[in-house]
Structure 1
């Protein structure tokens, strides 16, 4: 929390207290009010994250689902009022350190404690509001609905829904970094309020584009998911657009590219009749070309009978055996009726 101003009156020994000049005093009060207000970025603070293990992914106890094997999961909870709404995720190459964003404009970082590939706890968790120039928070600027996250050389990118923008945060410590707007494209701005940049890709070699955005839905066509290519990274220019086939009312929520240049796409569906469902698809990174129409391979579909919630974050890493590990996280919408879940699968085909 922001430090409270010291209002203790100090007197000179043997003399009278002399109040500050009215203008200086008013300026000081104004600065203190700004600095302690909700729109002013706070320093990172430790948070406690409690966990409960998820031992079975589905009611039947199966561990293998096509090319995927369930390696375990956790239900996450915290007394912090800022915890929740997790909508984007990155994990380090060793699968331990992680960085997540919330859809209220906060960072969450920490360590995933594991036994083998099975997550058993969260340690050293910290949270901080995402900030822009002059210390203002993204939320105070109307840009708190952060939905996606990608790592780039020297920093990270985040996709912001409602305003349909991509921002960049430079440096090794995002929790203290100052962001700047990187992409605000007219084609992106045509997306509906809740149809924005749900997935970001930044291929390490910049091929087929430096920045790739996948929208949650299309404002015009219910049968596609719109994709946008931008190149280069330093001063992004539109390179073209592509589409992903949309079926069974699934919407994009995140994507990640593996070191073998395969893209994994996380999707979600929700309606009152069928409840929540999630799906994973994959396709070659090279397929993301201007004008392309991509269907991909469905590798997992799960409904409300499985240990899922509103799954919105996806990250990839390799374990010591060389297997590709998928880490998924859910957005509980800050609702007591939903849960924050962390799930892990291995690609074992």
Structure 2
């Protein structure tokens, strides 16, 4: 085993392990960076109801760019991605534009440090363009206005004991206005599944969420979610096969918050396990767009600031006529 490869694997394990992530120093107040988005020459394959139709690699400043852990569609033309070092990336859809993305601080003011740095999930109200972010370590949800300026923050009591580095990993504003938050770390032994909260409305205003558990199949962990319709959401799943180098495996499941057992457990319905049908990397962000030529699911990967990983963006066509696995 080569020492360099072993060192890279240990660094990656440290990045994913609770409590070991090292934070960069604070950035200059007017920090902005361009991010290049280049198409990939890829074999386009099908996996269950999803067909890969396009792929891109995103590159930027080697120190500041990376760690993208969340994705939402701002409108029909733009995406917002958030990083676990407190930055945001706004970029136009690369299937419709060749413009570079812009990387900047999330909350460009002197008090932005109060929000914490480790953003892991994003949700959006498509009507008002209000955005919410889930932060690990602080175990909080922060609301941002349409200009992505921080508004208010809440730390739900039910999230107090969620894992420090596996907290609000998935956050979605459902189509009916409710909010779903899922913890990445699974409960064990007498508490199977992943803890989740269901808010009747804006989590900043609604302080009494319903406590649920999401049963995730095949040892996957939930890493992001995006709304579909009603009380349904697609949940992006990930598991890691530790080796030299580690291999990331991705899947997508569907969750219906209105179909749960008496004990509050919801069984996630597996839609597909991608395997080699997509470029394998650490996908942590998912978004959905409804376009004239069909419904598309977008995935973005977190490179953990590691040279052995990339920041990839995938566009997948979703055939909703195909049912989930029983």
For the aligned pair, the TM-score class normalised by the smaller chain equals 0.7 to 0.9
Q: Which residue of 2 aligns with 1:216?
A: 184
Task: Confirm whether residue 111 of structure 1 aligns to residue 85 of structure 2.
Answer: no
- Map 1:215-254 onto structure 2 (within 5 A): 215-221=183-189, 223-233=192-202, 234-254=204-224
Q: Which secondary structure state, in structure 2, belongs to the residue aligned with residue 187 of structure 1?
A: helix
Q: Give yes or no for the alignment of 1:55 onto 2:55.
A: no
**Secondary structure, counterpart of 2:159 in structure 1:** helix
The C-alpha deviation readout for 1:20-59, integer Å capped at 9, x for no partner, is xxxxxxxxxxxxxxxxxx54762362413142414225xx
Counterpart in the other structure of 1:300:
272
Q: 1:345 to 1:64 in 2, by over 3 A?
A: same
User: Which of 53, 70, 73 is matched with 1:88 structurally?
Assistant: 70
Consecutive unaligned residues of structure 2, counting only runs of 5 or more, are: 1-24, 322-326
Question: Which range moves more in the overlay, 263-272 or 46-55?
Answer: 46-55
Q: How big is the shift at 1:91?
A: 1.5
Matched, 1:78 2:60: yes
SS at match of 2:186: coil
Superposition map of 1:53-202 within 5 A: 53-56=40-43, 63-79=45-61, 81-94=63-76, 96-114=77-95, 123-131=99-107, 135-138=110-113, 141=114, 143-152=116-125, 153-170=128-145, 172-174=146-148, 177-181=149-153, 183-202=154-173
| Partners of 1:246 and 1:311 in 2: CA distance | 17
Alignment of 1:14-33 (within 5 A): none
Output one character per residue of 1:207-265: Cα deviation in whole Å (capped at 9) or x when no partner: xx3x2211112354584111112234252212311111133321110001124653111
CA contact (8 A) 1:46 1:124 kept: no
Q: Is the 8 A contact 1:195 1:219 kept in 2?
A: no
For residues 338 and 73 of structure 1, the distance between their equivalents in structure 2, rounded to whole angstroms, comes to: 15
How many pairs does the alignment contain? Answer: 291
* Cα drift, residue 111 of structure 1: 0.6
- The 1:39–1:339 alpha-carbon spacing in structure 2 relative to 1, beyond 3 Å, is closer
- 1:132-167 CA-partner distances (Å, limit 9, x unpaired): 8x62333xx471110000003351000001121100
- Give distance in 1, aligned partners of 2:83 and 2:254: 25
Q: 1:103 to 1:290 in 2, by over 3 A?
A: farther
The alpha-carbon deviation at position 180 of structure 1 amounts to 2.6
Please report how far the alpha carbon of residue 330 of structure 1 lies from its aligned counterpart in structure 2 after TM superposition.
Answer: 0.4
- Secondary structure in 1 matching 2:258: helix
Q: 1:288 to 1:228 in 2, by over 3 A?
A: farther
8 A contact 2:236–2:284 mirrored in 1: yes
- Are 1:333 and 2:307 matched, yes or no? no
Tell me if structure 2 keeps the 8 A contact 1:229–1:290.
Answer: no
Aligned to 2:29: 42
Residues 45-86 of structure 1: per-residue CA shift (max 9 Å, x gap)? 2413142414225xxxxx222211111211221235321111
SS in 2 for 1:217: strand
Select the residue among 201, 225, 248 that pairs with 1:276. 248
Compute the displacement of 1:286 (Å): 2.9
The structure-2 alpha-carbon separation of the partners of 1:179 and 1:129, relative to structure 1 and needing over 3 Å to count, comes to: farther
Q: Answer with 1 or 2: which has the greater Rg.
A: 1
Following the alignment from structure 1 to structure 2, what is the Cα–Cα distance between the partners of residues 72 and 191?
36
Write the deviation string for residues 242-298 of structure 1: whole angstroms up to 9, x where unpaired: 111133321110001124653111010013147210110013353369843222321
Q: List runs of 5+ in structure 1 lacking aligned partners.
A: 1-37, 58-62, 116-120
Distance 1:260-1:73 versus aligned 2 partners, 3 A rule: farther
